[in-house]
Amino acid sequence: GSPRLGQRRTETQWAQLVAWMEEGRVFEAPIIGCNKGGLLVRIAEGLGFVPASQLATLPGTLGTPELRSELESMVGNNMQLRLIEVDPARDRVICSERATQWQEQQADGQHLERLKDQIGQEVTGVVRSVCDFGVFVDLDGVDGLIHISELSWQRVRHPLDIVQPGQQIRVKVLNVDMEGRRVGLSLKRLHADPWRLVAERYHTGDVIDATVTNVVQFGAFAQVEEGVEGLIHISELSAAAFNAAEDVVREGQRIKVRILHINPVERRLGLSIRSAG
């Protein structure tokens, strides 16, 4: 991550950064240093990082030792930037000079009207920026948001595991807020909800293959197919004596499990290793 200045940003400062990112604000920041990958700038009483790949004119020295001296020559200047990633939890603020060159269109009413007609349909957009609660997508000058819960049917640790700034993606239009000039989008709804098929595909008593995804105090979670996880309660892990769940299973392990109960509506699946043998 980027080095830190002495003090931590306040919640108000983080909120300001998130707001700037959401509105796509272009701001000027002083370049106060560099490291081997890019420039350090001062923004909202803290540090921001501009990766060399996000400079408007890409350095010819990208990927070479000479990059450092080219970046050092820029220290002391000011630069016009936009935010492309804000993550308070990781103290990460990533800025881009290239992003300031996107066409500035005010989301006009007609444009939003057209998207309103496309609710439920697929459209193409470009990932503008990523933060810990979701992804902002540029739809020809109109801003759309994919909330983290709409990225995947599977659990998402961080949106950056799914998409990257600058990536072109297909999304489904969920809703259009004419007053707030906001468009709600979904990536996961391009695919059927895997839980809808669970009741057809699996039955209580079936013995199936699964992969352990998470070992917890009270047992382990295992994925039976993409987007569908079940719980193996600690009492169902093994007939032999053991102290902790980690003694029986580990993350990533392939196992045989028996289905004890299925509830697609509540997205619950009870599994057992003990009775699978």
Amino acid at 193: D
The model's pLDDT over 23-79, given as tens digits with 9 standing for 90+, comes to 888 899 999 999 988 999 999 889 999 998 888 887 777 778 888 889 999 999 999
Compute the Cα dihedral for 116, 121, 125, 129 and give only its sign.
positive
Do the beta carbons of residue 34 and residue 68 sit within 8 Å? Answer: yes
At residue 2, the pLDDT reads 45
- Banded pLDDT at 253 (limits 50, 70, 90): very high
- Averaged confidence pLDDT in the chain: 87
Per the listing, tokens 């109109």 go with 142
More confident call, 190 vs 22:
190
Residue 49 CA to residue 56 CA, distance in Å, equals: 15
Do the beta carbons of residue 194 and residue 227 sit within 8 Å? Answer: yes
- Banded pLDDT at 108 (limits 50, 70, 90): low
Do the beta carbons of residue 271 and residue 231 sit within 8 Å? Answer: yes
More confident call, 46 vs 141:
46
Q: Spell out the residues 6+ positions from residue 149 whose beta carbon is closer than 8 angstroms to its own.
A: none
Taking 60 as the threshold, does the pLDDT of residue 106 lie above it? no
Alpha-carbon distances, residue 84 vs 24, 38, 96, 250 (angstroms): 9, 15, 6, 36
Quickly list DSSP for 185-211: EESGGGS--HHHHHHHH--TT-EEEEE
Angular region, 196: left φ>0, alpha ψ -120 to 50, beta rest: alpha
Q: Which of 12-26, 98-112, 198-212 has the lowest mean pLDDT?
A: 98-112
At residue 171, the pLDDT reads 96
- Banded pLDDT at 103 (limits 50, 70, 90): low
Average pLDDT over residues 3-25: 80
pTM comes to: 0.58
Taking 80 as the threshold, does the pLDDT of residue 14 lie above it? yes
At residue 267, the pLDDT reads 87
More confident call, 141 vs 96:
96
